Structure 1
Protein backbone atom coordinates (compact mmCIF):
# COMPACT_ATOMS: atom_id res chain seq x y z
CA UNK A 1 0.00 0.00 0.00
CA UNK A 2 1.33 3.44 -0.92
CA UNK A 3 0.18 6.97 -0.19
CA UNK A 4 1.56 10.12 -1.85
CA UNK A 5 1.61 13.59 -0.35
CA UNK A 6 3.16 16.38 -2.40
CA UNK A 7 5.16 19.05 -0.60
CA UNK A 8 5.44 22.67 -1.64
CA UNK A 9 9.05 22.57 -2.76
CA UNK A 10 9.94 18.87 -3.18
CA UNK A 11 8.53 15.76 -4.75
CA UNK A 12 5.98 13.35 -3.32
CA UNK A 13 6.56 11.46 -0.10
CA UNK A 14 5.66 7.81 -0.58
CA UNK A 15 4.74 5.59 2.33
CA UNK A 16 5.41 1.87 2.01
CA UNK A 17 5.83 -1.20 4.16
CA UNK A 18 9.11 -2.91 5.04
CA UNK A 19 12.56 -1.38 4.88
CA UNK A 20 13.85 -1.20 1.31
CA UNK A 21 16.76 -3.56 0.68
CA UNK A 22 20.05 -1.85 1.41
CA UNK A 23 18.55 0.87 3.60
CA UNK A 24 19.51 -0.64 6.95
CA UNK A 25 22.34 1.82 7.63
CA UNK A 26 20.16 4.79 6.75
CA UNK A 27 17.34 3.44 8.93
CA UNK A 28 19.74 3.01 11.85
CA UNK A 29 21.00 6.57 11.42
CA UNK A 30 17.46 7.96 11.49
CA UNK A 31 16.62 5.85 14.49
CA UNK A 32 19.73 6.97 16.35
CA UNK A 33 19.07 10.63 15.50
CA UNK A 34 15.63 10.29 17.05
CA UNK A 35 16.45 8.08 20.03
CA UNK A 36 20.20 8.34 20.56
CA UNK A 37 19.84 10.49 23.64
CA UNK A 38 17.62 7.88 25.26
CA UNK A 39 19.59 4.86 24.06
CA UNK A 40 23.03 6.40 24.43
CA UNK A 41 23.78 5.13 27.95
CA UNK A 42 23.14 1.59 26.73
CA UNK A 43 24.64 1.67 23.23
CA UNK A 44 27.18 4.51 23.00
CA UNK A 45 29.43 5.38 21.28
CA UNK A 46 27.43 6.23 18.14
CA UNK A 47 30.11 4.69 15.93
CA UNK A 48 29.33 1.33 17.50
CA UNK A 49 25.64 1.85 18.19
CA UNK A 50 24.51 2.66 14.64
CA UNK A 51 26.16 -0.41 13.03
CA UNK A 52 24.78 -2.57 15.84
CA UNK A 53 21.23 -1.32 15.24
CA UNK A 54 21.63 -1.69 11.46
CA UNK A 55 22.78 -5.28 11.81
CA UNK A 56 19.78 -6.31 13.91
CA UNK A 57 16.77 -4.79 12.16
CA UNK A 58 13.71 -6.81 11.20
CA UNK A 59 12.83 -5.19 7.88
CA UNK A 60 9.24 -6.46 7.89
CA UNK A 61 8.42 -4.64 11.12
CA UNK A 62 8.58 -1.12 9.68
CA UNK A 63 6.54 1.30 7.64
CA UNK A 64 8.69 3.78 5.75
CA UNK A 65 8.52 7.21 4.11
CA UNK A 66 10.55 7.70 0.92
CA UNK A 67 11.37 10.97 -0.84
CA UNK A 68 12.91 10.63 -4.31
CA UNK A 69 13.71 7.04 -3.41
CA UNK A 70 15.56 7.97 -0.20
CA UNK A 71 14.41 6.85 3.23
CA UNK A 72 13.36 9.94 5.20
CA UNK A 73 11.20 8.43 7.92
CA UNK A 74 10.16 5.17 9.50
CA UNK A 75 7.96 3.77 12.23
CA UNK A 76 8.91 0.48 13.81
CA UNK A 77 6.26 -1.73 15.32
CA UNK A 78 6.05 -4.83 17.46
CA UNK A 79 3.60 -7.63 16.75
CA UNK A 80 3.62 -11.40 17.26
CA UNK A 81 6.78 -11.19 19.34
CA UNK A 82 8.93 -9.40 16.76
CA UNK A 83 9.91 -5.73 16.59
CA UNK A 84 11.89 -3.54 14.20
CA UNK A 85 14.94 -3.44 16.43
CA UNK A 86 16.47 -6.72 17.51
CA UNK A 87 19.71 -7.99 18.91
CA UNK A 88 19.87 -10.77 21.48
CA UNK A 89 21.70 -10.59 24.78
CA UNK A 90 24.48 -12.62 23.23
CA UNK A 91 24.74 -10.14 20.36
CA UNK A 92 25.11 -7.25 22.80
CA UNK A 93 27.82 -9.07 24.73
CA UNK A 94 29.67 -9.93 21.51
CA UNK A 95 29.56 -6.33 20.33
CA UNK A 96 30.43 -4.61 23.62
CA UNK A 97 32.25 -7.31 25.57
CA UNK A 98 31.04 -9.23 28.59
CA UNK A 99 32.33 -6.80 31.19
CA UNK A 100 30.91 -3.69 29.56
CA UNK A 101 27.92 -5.45 28.07
CA UNK A 102 26.18 -6.58 31.25
CA UNK A 103 25.20 -3.14 32.48
CA UNK A 104 24.12 -2.27 28.92
CA UNK A 105 21.73 -5.21 28.97
CA UNK A 106 20.29 -3.94 32.22
CA UNK A 107 19.66 -0.50 30.71
CA UNK A 108 18.16 -1.98 27.55
CA UNK A 109 15.77 -4.03 29.65
CA UNK A 110 14.24 -0.75 30.87
CA UNK A 111 12.97 -0.11 27.34
CA UNK A 112 11.33 -3.50 26.81
CA UNK A 113 7.65 -3.34 26.03
CA UNK A 114 5.37 -6.34 25.57
CA UNK A 115 2.07 -5.58 23.83
CA UNK A 116 -0.99 -7.39 25.10
CA UNK A 117 -2.91 -9.79 22.85
CA UNK A 118 -4.77 -7.81 20.24
CA UNK A 119 -2.34 -4.89 20.38
CA UNK A 120 0.17 -3.62 17.86
CA UNK A 121 2.86 -1.54 19.57
CA UNK A 122 4.58 1.31 17.74
CA UNK A 123 8.04 1.34 19.27
CA UNK A 124 9.64 4.27 17.50
CA UNK A 125 8.89 6.96 14.91
CA UNK A 126 11.88 8.68 13.32
CA UNK A 127 11.75 11.42 10.67
CA UNK A 128 14.67 13.19 9.00
CA UNK A 129 14.93 16.69 10.56
CA UNK A 130 15.09 18.23 7.08
CA UNK A 131 11.55 17.10 6.23
CA UNK A 132 9.81 17.43 9.57
CA UNK A 133 6.61 19.42 9.56
CA UNK A 134 5.30 17.85 6.33
CA UNK A 135 2.97 15.43 8.04
CA UNK A 136 5.26 12.42 7.61
CA UNK A 137 4.75 11.29 11.20
CA UNK A 138 0.99 11.28 10.62
CA UNK A 139 1.36 9.22 7.45
CA UNK A 140 3.51 6.67 9.27
CA UNK A 141 1.02 6.38 12.13
CA UNK A 142 -1.87 5.84 9.76
CA UNK A 143 0.01 3.19 7.78
CA UNK A 144 0.85 1.40 11.03
CA UNK A 145 -2.86 1.60 11.90
CA UNK A 146 -3.67 -0.04 8.56
CA UNK A 147 -1.23 -2.85 9.38
CA UNK A 148 -2.89 -3.27 12.78
CA UNK A 149 -6.34 -3.49 11.19
CA UNK A 150 -5.17 -6.14 8.74
CA UNK A 151 -3.73 -8.13 11.63
CA UNK A 152 -7.12 -7.94 13.42
CA UNK A 153 -5.69 -5.92 16.30
CA UNK A 154 -8.16 -4.04 18.44
CA UNK A 155 -5.81 -1.16 19.30
CA UNK A 156 -2.42 0.44 18.81
CA UNK A 157 -0.12 1.15 21.73
CA UNK A 158 2.83 3.48 22.03
CA UNK A 159 4.88 5.04 24.81
CA UNK A 160 6.06 8.64 24.97
CA UNK A 161 8.58 10.16 27.38
CA UNK A 162 7.93 13.32 29.36
CA UNK A 163 10.63 15.28 27.54
CA UNK A 164 8.91 14.91 24.15
CA UNK A 165 5.72 16.98 24.37
CA UNK A 166 5.70 17.59 20.60
CA UNK A 167 5.38 13.87 19.92
CA UNK A 168 2.66 13.50 22.54
CA UNK A 169 0.70 16.35 20.95
CA UNK A 170 0.89 14.57 17.58
CA UNK A 171 -0.34 11.31 19.08
CA UNK A 172 -3.25 13.06 20.78
CA UNK A 173 -4.23 14.67 17.47
CA UNK A 174 -4.24 11.23 15.87
CA UNK A 175 -6.66 9.82 18.42
CA UNK A 176 -4.36 8.36 21.07
CA UNK A 177 -5.32 8.70 24.72
CA UNK A 178 -3.12 8.35 27.76
CA UNK A 179 -3.93 5.30 29.85
CA UNK A 180 -1.15 5.38 32.44
CA UNK A 181 2.09 7.14 33.33
CA UNK A 182 5.04 5.45 34.97
CA UNK A 183 7.25 7.88 36.85
CA UNK A 184 10.92 7.00 37.27
CA UNK A 185 12.64 10.18 38.51
CA UNK A 186 15.67 8.15 39.58
CA UNK A 187 16.42 7.49 35.89
CA UNK A 188 16.34 11.13 34.79
CA UNK A 189 20.04 11.61 35.41
CA UNK A 190 20.91 8.44 33.49
CA UNK A 191 18.45 8.40 30.59
CA UNK A 192 17.35 12.03 30.38
CA UNK A 193 13.66 11.48 31.20
CA UNK A 194 11.70 10.79 34.34
CA UNK A 195 8.31 9.50 33.18
CA UNK A 196 6.83 7.38 30.40
CA UNK A 197 3.19 7.63 29.36
CA UNK A 198 1.48 4.72 27.64
CA UNK A 199 -1.12 5.73 25.04
CA UNK A 200 -3.73 3.65 23.20
CA UNK A 201 -5.79 4.21 20.07
CA UNK A 202 -8.65 1.98 19.06
CA UNK A 203 -8.48 0.67 15.52
CA UNK A 204 -10.65 2.74 13.23
CA UNK A 205 -10.31 5.92 15.32
CA UNK A 206 -8.27 8.68 13.68
CA UNK A 207 -9.16 11.93 15.39
Structure 2
Protein backbone atom coordinates (compact mmCIF):
# COMPACT_ATOMS: atom_id res chain seq x y z
CA UNK A 1 0.00 0.00 0.00
CA UNK A 2 1.23 3.47 -0.89
CA UNK A 3 1.66 5.80 2.08
CA UNK A 4 2.31 9.52 1.84
CA UNK A 5 3.90 11.39 4.73
CA UNK A 6 2.80 14.96 5.24
CA UNK A 7 3.55 17.66 7.80
CA UNK A 8 0.45 18.54 9.80
CA UNK A 9 -2.93 16.86 10.16
CA UNK A 10 -5.30 16.81 7.19
CA UNK A 11 -8.33 19.02 7.65
CA UNK A 12 -11.42 17.10 8.65
CA UNK A 13 -9.47 14.21 10.23
CA UNK A 14 -8.88 15.54 13.74
CA UNK A 15 -11.38 13.08 15.24
CA UNK A 16 -9.71 10.18 13.45
CA UNK A 17 -6.33 11.44 14.72
CA UNK A 18 -7.74 11.48 18.27
CA UNK A 19 -9.04 7.92 17.81
CA UNK A 20 -5.65 6.68 16.55
CA UNK A 21 -3.90 8.38 19.47
CA UNK A 22 -6.36 6.82 21.92
CA UNK A 23 -5.88 3.39 20.33
CA UNK A 24 -2.17 3.68 21.08
CA UNK A 25 -2.26 5.36 24.48
CA UNK A 26 -5.74 4.76 25.91
CA UNK A 27 -4.62 1.64 27.74
CA UNK A 28 -2.33 3.63 30.01
CA UNK A 29 -4.37 6.86 30.10
CA UNK A 30 -7.91 5.50 30.49
CA UNK A 31 -8.09 5.71 34.29
CA UNK A 32 -7.22 9.39 34.16
CA UNK A 33 -8.59 10.61 30.84
CA UNK A 34 -11.57 8.28 30.47
CA UNK A 35 -14.32 7.74 29.72
CA UNK A 36 -13.29 7.35 26.10
CA UNK A 37 -15.80 9.82 24.56
CA UNK A 38 -14.51 12.61 26.81
CA UNK A 39 -10.91 11.63 26.18
CA UNK A 40 -11.54 11.84 22.43
CA UNK A 41 -13.21 15.25 22.86
CA UNK A 42 -10.20 16.46 24.83
CA UNK A 43 -7.65 15.12 22.34
CA UNK A 44 -9.54 16.53 19.37
CA UNK A 45 -9.62 19.91 21.13
CA UNK A 46 -5.92 20.10 22.04
CA UNK A 47 -4.04 18.36 19.21
CA UNK A 48 -1.73 20.78 17.44
CA UNK A 49 -1.85 20.06 13.73
CA UNK A 50 1.44 21.94 13.24
CA UNK A 51 3.20 19.55 15.65
CA UNK A 52 2.48 16.34 13.74
CA UNK A 53 3.54 14.27 10.77
CA UNK A 54 0.67 12.36 9.17
CA UNK A 55 0.78 9.07 7.25
CA UNK A 56 -1.99 9.00 4.63
CA UNK A 57 -3.12 6.14 2.42
CA UNK A 58 -3.82 6.48 -1.31
CA UNK A 59 -7.29 7.88 -0.57
CA UNK A 60 -5.92 10.55 1.77
CA UNK A 61 -7.17 8.81 4.92
CA UNK A 62 -5.06 9.09 8.06
CA UNK A 63 -3.39 5.75 8.91
CA UNK A 64 -0.77 6.93 11.38
CA UNK A 65 0.80 9.97 12.95
CA UNK A 66 3.81 11.10 14.93
CA UNK A 67 3.56 14.11 17.20
CA UNK A 68 6.46 16.17 18.45
CA UNK A 69 7.18 18.75 21.11
CA UNK A 70 8.91 22.11 20.68
CA UNK A 71 9.35 25.16 22.93
CA UNK A 72 6.04 26.36 21.39
CA UNK A 73 4.16 23.33 22.79
CA UNK A 74 3.44 19.67 22.26
CA UNK A 75 1.19 17.71 19.93
CA UNK A 76 -1.27 16.52 22.58
CA UNK A 77 -0.64 18.75 25.58
CA UNK A 78 -3.47 21.13 26.32
CA UNK A 79 -3.94 23.41 29.31
CA UNK A 80 -5.84 23.46 32.59
CA UNK A 81 -8.52 25.46 30.78
CA UNK A 82 -8.85 22.73 28.14
CA UNK A 83 -9.17 20.07 30.86
CA UNK A 84 -11.83 22.06 32.70
CA UNK A 85 -13.75 22.72 29.47
CA UNK A 86 -14.06 18.98 28.78
CA UNK A 87 -14.14 17.44 32.28
CA UNK A 88 -15.53 20.26 34.45
CA UNK A 89 -13.75 22.18 37.20
CA UNK A 90 -13.08 19.32 39.63
CA UNK A 91 -12.59 16.60 37.00
CA UNK A 92 -10.31 18.79 34.93
CA UNK A 93 -8.22 19.89 37.90
CA UNK A 94 -7.36 16.44 39.29
CA UNK A 95 -6.72 15.05 35.81
CA UNK A 96 -4.40 17.90 34.91
CA UNK A 97 -2.41 17.49 38.12
CA UNK A 98 -1.90 13.75 37.59
CA UNK A 99 -1.03 14.10 33.90
CA UNK A 100 1.45 16.88 34.62
CA UNK A 101 3.48 14.38 36.65
CA UNK A 102 3.86 12.18 33.54
CA UNK A 103 4.61 14.77 30.88
CA UNK A 104 8.08 15.05 29.41
CA UNK A 105 9.70 18.43 29.54
CA UNK A 106 10.93 20.09 26.37
CA UNK A 107 14.48 18.98 25.67
CA UNK A 108 16.44 21.94 24.32
CA UNK A 109 19.27 19.69 23.09
CA UNK A 110 17.21 16.94 21.42
CA UNK A 111 14.07 16.91 19.28
CA UNK A 112 11.31 15.30 21.36
CA UNK A 113 8.85 12.77 19.94
CA UNK A 114 5.43 13.35 21.55
CA UNK A 115 3.68 10.12 20.58
CA UNK A 116 3.52 7.86 17.55
CA UNK A 117 0.57 5.72 16.52
CA UNK A 118 -0.49 3.58 13.57
CA UNK A 119 -3.97 2.19 12.85
CA UNK A 120 -4.24 -1.37 14.18
CA UNK A 121 -4.94 -2.93 10.80
CA UNK A 122 -1.96 -1.08 9.26
CA UNK A 123 0.70 -2.11 11.76
CA UNK A 124 3.79 -4.11 10.67
CA UNK A 125 3.70 -2.50 7.21
CA UNK A 126 6.53 -0.02 7.71
CA UNK A 127 4.42 3.02 8.60
CA UNK A 128 5.93 3.40 12.08
CA UNK A 129 9.44 3.18 10.65
CA UNK A 130 8.60 5.76 7.97
CA UNK A 131 7.15 8.13 10.58
CA UNK A 132 10.27 7.79 12.74
CA UNK A 133 12.50 8.51 9.73
CA UNK A 134 10.44 11.61 8.96
CA UNK A 135 10.66 12.75 12.60
CA UNK A 136 14.45 12.50 12.29
CA UNK A 137 14.31 14.55 9.07
CA UNK A 138 12.15 17.14 10.86
CA UNK A 139 14.69 17.26 13.68
CA UNK A 140 17.50 17.95 11.20
CA UNK A 141 15.46 20.66 9.46
CA UNK A 142 15.03 22.33 12.84
CA UNK A 143 18.73 22.09 13.67
CA UNK A 144 18.70 19.27 16.21
CA UNK A 145 21.48 16.68 16.24
CA UNK A 146 19.40 13.94 17.88
CA UNK A 147 15.87 12.73 18.63
CA UNK A 148 14.57 11.65 22.03
CA UNK A 149 11.51 9.63 23.00
CA UNK A 150 10.14 7.93 26.09
CA UNK A 151 8.57 4.46 26.00
CA UNK A 152 6.90 2.66 28.88
CA UNK A 153 8.70 -0.37 30.28
CA UNK A 154 5.92 -2.80 29.36
CA UNK A 155 5.65 -1.75 25.69
CA UNK A 156 8.21 -4.19 24.30
CA UNK A 157 6.81 -3.98 20.74
CA UNK A 158 7.37 -0.22 20.50
CA UNK A 159 10.78 -0.50 22.12
CA UNK A 160 11.81 -3.16 19.59
CA UNK A 161 10.75 -0.84 16.74
CA UNK A 162 12.75 2.04 18.21
CA UNK A 163 15.82 -0.16 18.65
CA UNK A 164 15.57 -1.34 15.02
CA UNK A 165 15.53 2.33 14.03
CA UNK A 166 18.74 3.04 15.94
CA UNK A 167 17.37 4.39 19.21
CA UNK A 168 19.39 3.48 22.30
CA UNK A 169 18.08 3.43 25.88
CA UNK A 170 19.96 5.94 28.00
CA UNK A 171 17.99 5.85 31.25
CA UNK A 172 14.92 4.52 33.01
CA UNK A 173 12.88 6.61 35.40
CA UNK A 174 10.23 5.18 37.67
CA UNK A 175 6.87 6.85 38.19
CA UNK A 176 6.50 5.85 41.83
CA UNK A 177 2.98 5.54 43.21
CA UNK A 178 1.51 6.63 39.87
CA UNK A 179 2.24 3.09 38.64
CA UNK A 180 -1.04 2.07 40.33
CA UNK A 181 -2.92 4.62 38.21
CA UNK A 182 -1.21 4.10 34.85
CA UNK A 183 -0.33 0.40 35.01
CA UNK A 184 3.38 0.66 34.25
CA UNK A 185 6.39 1.13 36.51
CA UNK A 186 8.87 3.19 34.51
CA UNK A 187 9.51 5.11 31.31
CA UNK A 188 12.64 4.44 29.32
CA UNK A 189 14.31 7.38 27.58
CA UNK A 190 15.77 6.49 24.18
CA UNK A 191 17.89 8.63 21.85
CA UNK A 192 19.31 8.39 18.34
CA UNK A 193 21.21 10.79 16.09
CA UNK A 194 18.93 12.70 13.73
CA UNK A 195 21.32 12.31 10.81
CA UNK A 196 21.53 8.57 10.52
Q: TM-score, normalised by structure 2?
A: 0.95
Q: Deviations along 1:112-154, whole A, 9 cap, x unmatched?
A: 1123223211011110000101010000000011000000011
Partner SS, residue 175 of structure 1: coil
| TM superposition shift of 1:41 | 2.0
Corresponding residue number in structure 1 for 2:21: 31
User: How far apart are 1:16 and its partner, in Å?
Assistant: 1.3
Task: After superposition, give the CA deviation of every residue in 1:30-51 in whole Å (9 maximum; x if it has no partner).
Answer: 0001001122122111011101
SS in 2 for 1:109: helix
Match of 1:44 in 2: 34
Tell me how far 1:102 sits from its aligned partner: 2.0
Matches within 5 A, 1:2-81: 11-67=1-57, 68-81=59-72
Alpha-carbon separation, structure 2, partners of 1:87 and 1:188: 23
What residue is the counterpart of 1:199 in the other structure?
Answer: 190
Moved over 6 A (4+): none
More helix per residue: 2
TM-score by length of 1: 0.90
**Aligned-residue CA RMSD in angstroms?**
1.2
Question: Please, which moves more after superposition, 124-133 or 178-187?
Answer: 178-187
Paired residues, number: 195
Residue 185 (structure 1) shift: 4.9
- 1:113 maps to which residue? 104
Cα pair 2:68 2:75 within 8 Å, conserved: yes
